[in-house]
Amino acid sequence: MTKQEVILANQQYLFPSVFHYFKEPLVVTKAKDQFVWDADGNKYLDFFGGIVTISVGHCNDTVNQKVHEQIDKLWHVSTVFANEPQAALAKRVAEITPGGKLTKSFFTNSGTEANETAVLTARCYTGNHEIVALRHSYHGRSAVAMAATGQASWRLGGPAPSGFVHAINAYCYRCPLSLTYPSCNVQCARDMEEMIRTSTSGRIAGFIAEPIQGVGGFITPPKEYFEIVAAIVKKAGGVFISDEVQTGWGRTGGKWFGIEHWGVTPDIITSAKGLGNGSPVGLTVARPEIADALKGTTISTFGGNPVTATAAKAVIDFIDENKLMINAAETGAYLRGKLEEMKAKYPIIGDIRGMGLMQALELVEDRESKKPDTQATLAVMEAARENRLLIGKGGTYGNVIRVTPPLNISKSDVDDFTLRLDASFKHVTATRMAGAAR
């Protein structure tokens, strides 16, 4: 197919909800490590990684070799038969969960399913029904996951299933309580108690939260946040589900899981994306007594598939053996420094936030009003494409640029990225000034 035929076939044969970035969709034909090529042969530096998924580089040689070997040995048996790759992956995951406390896994195919499984397990364990989630969160596209999601644009199909309430989040740049950290005394976290008392039956099944809200625009709570809310949730009978679909596997630097930066051990962790480096794997891992409460028959035909389980374990081993959690912290700090320099140059950058190799820039019309600048965000995305750089978009107001390169990049890649992003901001700023002068 030609590039044009691909685009036309997409329009004709896919649901229109399968949307693409850019005015003209980018047709990707191949990728290697931190680079992606389009149908015209142009090479791009990929600092988004297929939505925070390429954790160890596109088509990583080590991972791919193990996958190739497994494909020739055993593709599929389903969970009604035991297989070694699933067992080995479950054991490896158990070894690295916070404090080694979450030791039983259930594998599925996506983050959505991982969260479905977590909500179901929390309800079975506690005997309670209600789930507290956060505003500005994203948890997936099933009915339950959309009900947990805290952004209108991702909640399709009318009224959501009952049993979900949303607490205010720790969005310090746009504090929902109009307070300022640290003098706020993290009031947003303390509000959880009143929220449970007034908006639920008082006894909840669980609290689900992303340590850093991904689709929400890398909203990063202050260090006290999770300790305060976790204690309140526990008092109300609920378990704490940490949705690590974006923050897992070293992305935030120095730790396997994002929540470890807040010094809290969750009861359940869910993940997907970076765990498979592109192969479809969803994970729900829980404390054993909680996992044991999910009794009765339930099945995921492809969950723990020998090929995807092989890929996932190879990814974990690669991150470990190549000390990529340390690289994410060090190269992430270097990247953060470059972004702060850019903020000093361009007033449309209102906020820089994130951890490790998970960094975001929130764009505003001016720093006083903080009015979200969605148009500038789209323009920077297009300009970055022209400069052969791929970055992501996010935020409830569509005004956040997300930067999530593979964890095995080097500082020279960051320098390359900085040149390309800086040129993109320069272009957008100059175009605007020319437009204003006209």
Ligand X SMILES: Cc1ncc(COP(=O)(O)O)c(C=O)c1O
Which spans of this chain sit near ligand X (rule: CB under 6 A)? Answer: 110-112, 115, 138-140, 210, 214-215, 243, 245-246, 272
Smallest separation, CB 139 to ligand X (Å): 5
Smallest separation, CB 357 to ligand X (Å): 16
State the amino acid at position 245 in one-letter form.
V
Smallest separation, CB 215 to ligand X (Å): 5
Q: Going by C-beta distance under 8 Å and a sequence separation of 6 or more, which residues neighbour residue 45?
A: 34, 35, 388, 389, 390, 413, 416, 417, 420
Q: With the CA atoms of 45, 48, 51 and 57 taken in that order, what torsion angle do they form, in degrees rounded to the nearest 10?
A: 60
Smallest separation, CB 155 to ligand X (Å): 14
- Please, which residue, 258 or 413, has the CB nearer to ligand X? 258
Distances (CA, A) of 257 to 94, 238, 349, 382, 383: 13, 21, 28, 32, 33
Smallest separation, CB 122 to ligand X (Å): 15
- Please, which residue, 218 or 417, has the CB nearer to ligand X? 218
Smallest separation, CB 307 to ligand X (Å): 17
Stated length of the chain: 438
- Please, which residue, 126 or 149, has the CB nearer to ligand X? 149
Distances (CA, A) of 258 to 25, 220, 230, 271, 407: 32, 10, 15, 11, 14
Smallest separation, CB 216 to ligand X (Å): 9
- Please, which residue, 249 or 425, has the CB nearer to ligand X? 249
Smallest separation, CB 388 to ligand X (Å): 25
Q: Output the residue with the shortest Cβ distance to ligand X.
A: 111
- Please, which residue, 246 or 331, has the CB nearer to ligand X? 246
Smallest separation, CB 149 to ligand X (Å): 9
Q: Going by C-beta distance under 8 Å and a sequence separation of 6 or more, which residues neighbour residue 120?
A: 294, 298
Smallest separation, CB 210 to ligand X (Å): 5
Token pair recorded at residue 39 = 């149908």
- Please, which residue, 139 or 287, has the CB nearer to ligand X? 139
- Please, which residue, 399 or 418, has the CB nearer to ligand X? 399
- Please, which residue, 34 or 246, has the CB nearer to ligand X? 246
- Please, which residue, 85 or 274, has the CB nearer to ligand X? 274
- Please, which residue, 277 or 424, has the CB nearer to ligand X? 277
